[in-house]
Structure 1
């Protein structure tokens, strides 16, 4: 998955798009064989970041559910599969299931003789995301800091940028605007040289939220517009919907109800495709409460 973290990201995403039918056929074939469970699991694991960046949440979650029904003896492989299954659950706002799967993944990582620092870091990161959405911001902060520390121990610059997006988001919700801004801006400094458009867009999305909360509407719109461009390029519909919501809020605040309605509908359409019911409900409520003019 290193090809999906850098300047070649979009080229590799397109290559995988072209091979989708062949990859599905190969996975189906492997799962139909009596002794190919681990081969199928490794194939699926290689596709997880592709499914995630392209927001193919339902497909990814369905494949991993099938694979987790098989007997997989390799604990590191099972830990990674369980991590991704938990993250796909988070992407559908199934936070209790996401946390349960991350806890199972963490236990598997911790049972290994040789620690996998990046695996542990990713798992703690999604545990933080689930805690954040469940309202336990203190637990979320601990998970995010642990994730950043583990990425730092692994000397994983991409991971350190990745971890700072939610560290910043959690600080923002805790009311520590200065610390939130520091994390998000440092994350951008770390990730921009790599050419990774996806993580760059995630950091921009949270900077837009920060600007919005500070009443800086023009800056919020600029961040959200840049995030939208990058998210459309990589096909990450999940975060694109969030950026559309931000642009809708700015448009509504500045009195452009037609633009607000258009942006909310774009976000709603994405959440419907992702099967994210809580966000569908929230955006529909915003649309219903939007003034006619």
Structure 2
């Protein structure tokens, strides 16, 4: 029936099928003031022409049209009716109950189960159902009707996929409203064949797509792709959302995406579209990885994070259908996973891809990436196997860059495993290979790592020159990650040298840079160093939140060496705020964890722990001290972490025990201890393997911080504070 005839009939006009029906409708409405409702107008032919004639011929009439597609008239004003609001995940019961989508679910559930109530034990499941169904009213109604046989928790588990379950609507409704699949199929029939193909293609994207991404996978010029996306948006089948960079992204609701993928398979076109999708996102990953250590580092990392879901989809397909492509992908993504803290997921993809075929070049890079992530998770044995395999293959292929990267990472691993001599040999072999190409190897460079080796296993002043050179190099190439790492290490060196104020500036700058690029592992390191700096300066209120957040991040990442370091730093804090027993326990727990993962403390860390334990001994008897050491060894990692996170400063007004020695670095406390024993500078230098000049500088720093001018005065403070 034509729309004019339908309106004529509703107005009570006889012979509503005659040829002059439009003029009769206009005559009837002349001078009238009314609102005409045209519902579901998208399937009625000539709706736009009729409404246009009506508005011109009957000035007092207003028309309200519900439709999936705008009429595209000049006088049209669109009011988009989106899905119902859904509750945030893990919302409290009150917020869940107030959600419109949950209220609709409850209303429809009561229609089939009169006593259905939203309770604390089912509210989260109902909320998650509404989220899973994108707040679509029909989907929620169909799902709620299943409450008759499936309680919310069970119903939720059956919604992956969802279309098979969302059926059985009321028999007095049109067929297209009795199942969600039928509704979507009806909407699909309103599209041209070309538009249907594009809808199906959009289904392969997870988390949306930019115009450039969609254009590449669909094989269309961007202007034409934009026109087609606009048409799909007019049919209310896609949604557009601005990305953080301001670029528009096009996405499907989860249920529409499920339907689109289902239709893509039915039409036998899924392999080709997914193949184009995977190849396109390999190009995306390669472009971003090439920029990862340069001036566009922040943008490159952000783009990979934004496309992470698409990259996962590409990897999942490639592992099944194109293993060499999968290996290329993981090789390109290794640095991203490492910097942004996707350790467990990254290792999972890398291990699967390394089990398949692929190019030698990609295998070298993937082995290095897998080894680096294994090292950061404390799996040193597996890290050494993977990095050694990468080095062997790189040598076979004559891959100089791959050799330099593997040697560099093996040097870092030896450093972490308390094998400094081996680390120096490996890094020294890597250094000329790196200098020949002068290109970034990723997170670190041999020059930088040789500086760190001096910092942790030698003397801080010997570390300053190579670390400064590394900082200059990274600033020159625009590598924000490298700049932040060098600033952090220089900050640690200055702390060791007693310049806590300048150290704090460098550490704060490193933290700001690391937060800007999302370097999770780096954020932890900068936070713990800043927390320790605050402890050393007696600023306990500032120290606690830094240490707490760093420990929380370390646990989330599963970075066990970081957890041990955080416990040691927390112990330093505890010893100085009156929690000596906890300090001893956490040092013992950290030492036990280090032993389990094969990452003994370097001298830099040992000096800090020794200083912490000396402070703790002031408040504990010998028996209590030994008891807490044994308890810490048996404490268990989870219990130690929970204890540390529960600690708060006991007092921010009084002077904690041993205040005079608070501002001394671990090395300076060591010097004070030797002075109290009556040792000369030469004897101290011989004991520690340092130059007399270095010892004299440390002793001078001790005098300055204690505000004394003689050894006798310094020793008096040492005796008073229990350090003699």
TM-score tier after normalising by the smaller chain length = over 0.9
Distance in 2 (CA, whole Å) between partners of 1:71 and 1:194 is 34
Quick check: which one's helix share is greater? 1
Shift of residue 60 of structure 1? Answer: 1.1
TM-score by length of 2: 0.38
Match of 1:277 in 2: 560
Q: 1:77 aligns with which of 341, 353, 362?
A: 362
Q: TM-score, length-normalised on structure 1?
A: 0.92
Q: Show the counterpart of 1:163.
A: 446
Alpha-carbon contact 1:165-1:202 (below 8 Å) kept: no
Displacement of 1:91 in angstroms is 1.3
Judge conservation of contact 1:165–1:206 (CA < 8 Å) in 2.
no
Counterpart in 2 of 1:254? 537
Q: CA RMSD in A?
A: 1.7
Match of 2:336 in 1: 50
1:51-89 deviations in Å (ceiling 9; x for gaps): 1221221221111011122244x3332222111100001
Deviations 1:173-214 (A, max 9, x none): 232434311101111111112221101011111101101111
For residues 138-162 of structure 1, the C-alpha deviation after alignment (integer angstroms, 9 at most, x for no partner) is 1101111222211112242x35973
In structure 1, the partner of 2:347 is: 61
| Contact 1:132/1:170 (8 A) holds in 2 | yes
Report what 1:7 is aligned to: 295
Q: Mapping of 1:232-243 within 5 angstroms?
A: 232-243=515-526
Shift of 1:287: 2.7
Out of 374, 383, 386, which is 1:101 matched to?
386
Q: Secondary structure at the match of 2:356?
A: coil
Aligned partners of 1:236, 1:140: CA distance in 2, in Å?
A: 25
Q: Which has the higher contact order (CA 8 A, sep 6+)?
A: 1
Question: Counterpart of 2:453 in 1: which secondary structure?
Answer: helix
Answer yes or no: is the 8 Å Cα contact 2:341–2:521 preserved in 1.
Answer: yes
Whose Rg is larger?
2
Which shows bigger deviation, 269-278 or 175-184? 175-184
**Structure 1 contact 99–130 (Cα < 8 Å) conserved:** yes
1:221 maps onto 2:504 in alignment = yes
Question: What residue in structure 2 maps to residue 202 of structure 1?
Answer: 485
Gaps of 5+ in 1: none
- Return the alpha-carbon distance in structure 2 between the equivalents of residues 286 and 200 of structure 1: 24
List runs of 5+ in structure 2 lacking aligned partners. 1-288, 578-649, 652-724
Structure 2: how far apart are the matches of 1:282 and 1:227? 18
- Cα deviation, residue 229, structure 1: 0.6
Aligned pair partner of 2:395 in 79, 99, 110: 110
CA distance in 2, matches of 1:211, 1:155: 27
8 Å CA contact 2:331, 2:363 repeated in 1: no
CA distance in 2, matches of 1:32, 1:140: 39
CA gap of 1:153–1:281, structure 2 versus 1, over 3 A, is: closer
Matches within 5 A, 1:184-199: 184-199=467-482
SS in 1 for 2:291: helix
Which runs of at least 4 in structure 1 moved beyond 3 Å after TM superposition?
158-161, 176-179
1:104-132 deviations in whole A, cap 9, x for unaligned?
Answer: 111111111xx211111110011001100
CA offset at residue 285 of structure 1? 4.8
